Chain A
Amino acid sequence: EDKVVQSPLSLVVHEGDTVTLNCSYEVTNFRSLLWYKQEKKAPTFLFMLTSSGIEKKSGRLSSILDKKELFSILNITATQTGDSAVYLCAVEPLDNTDKLIFGTGTRLQVFP
């Protein structure tokens, strides 16, 4: 059965810390891996990763995919209180249904 596992489940840090969120997956016929940030209600898209070893970067956030070891990490440097959210990882299998398989998320709390 396809599955996506995120760790840690929860993380509490102080502003300025750097955090690394992990996402591992067991999905047959992998197409892409996506990271979302969820604050309050709806997830918002962060990154899509399809190729191994290529880092995607947006400001203080960056992500990389390892297709050999079947995992991805999301790094946030110099964290701010506004980074507090649930971070969701999702994998898209390579079939024609375009269904995403989500992990349970990592809850990040950043305190001043």
Chain B
Amino acid sequence: DVKVTQSSRYLVKRTGEKVFLECVQDMDHENMFWYRQDPGLGLRLIYFSYDVKMKEKGDIPEGYSVSREKKERFSLILESASTNQTSMYLCASSWITGATEAFFGQGTRLTVV
């Protein structure tokens, strides 16, 4: 089974803190994604990466950055956390071509106070 693992299930951070959300997948997928999920807004893409050190902005990249130094790991960074970044964050991975079923991690519920 494909496994996508997010490092934390719950996080509480203070406004202004730098926050790292880590995601690791074990299927050698080229693509990795970070989404946030908010009530009434569904899943929105923050950033995605299609190869090591490659990244592209999604729909809502403001206030976030990402890092992909190794193929299996994709990190989401909140440079200076703000209360409007309180959300559920989901990481996903998929093959780069062909069937694009995405496999999701369990999610990280981030609360910024």
Contacts and interface: CB of A to CB of B under 8 A. Distances in A.
Interface of A: 31-32, 34, 36, 41-45, 48, 88, 90, 92, 97-100, 102-105
A99 B58 contact: yes
B101 A41 contact: no
Given A97-B50, A97-B56, A98-B50, A45 B42 contact: no
A41 B103 CA distance: 13
B105 A42 contact: yes
B41 A42 contact: no
17 contacts: A32-B100, A34-B102, A42-B4, A42-B104, A43-B90, A44-B104, A45-B101, A45-B102, A88-B42, A88-B43, A97-B48, A98-B48, A99-B58, A100-B102, A102-B35, A102-B43, A104-B41
A43 B102 CA distance: 9
> Which of A45, A48, A98 gathers most chain B CB within 10 Å?
A98
A92 B105 contact: no
In the A-B complex, the 10 residue pairs with the closest CB atoms: A104-B42, A102-B43, A41-B107, A42-B104, A41-B106, A42-B106, A102-B42, A45-B101, A43-B104, A98-B100
Nearest to B6: A42
Contact of A98 (B40, B43, B94): B94
A65 to B, nearest CB: 15
Nearest to A92: B100
A4 to B, nearest CB: 8
Contacts of B96: 98
A98 B31 contact: yes
A10 B58 CA distance: 27
Contacts of B94: 98
A34 B102 CA distance: 9
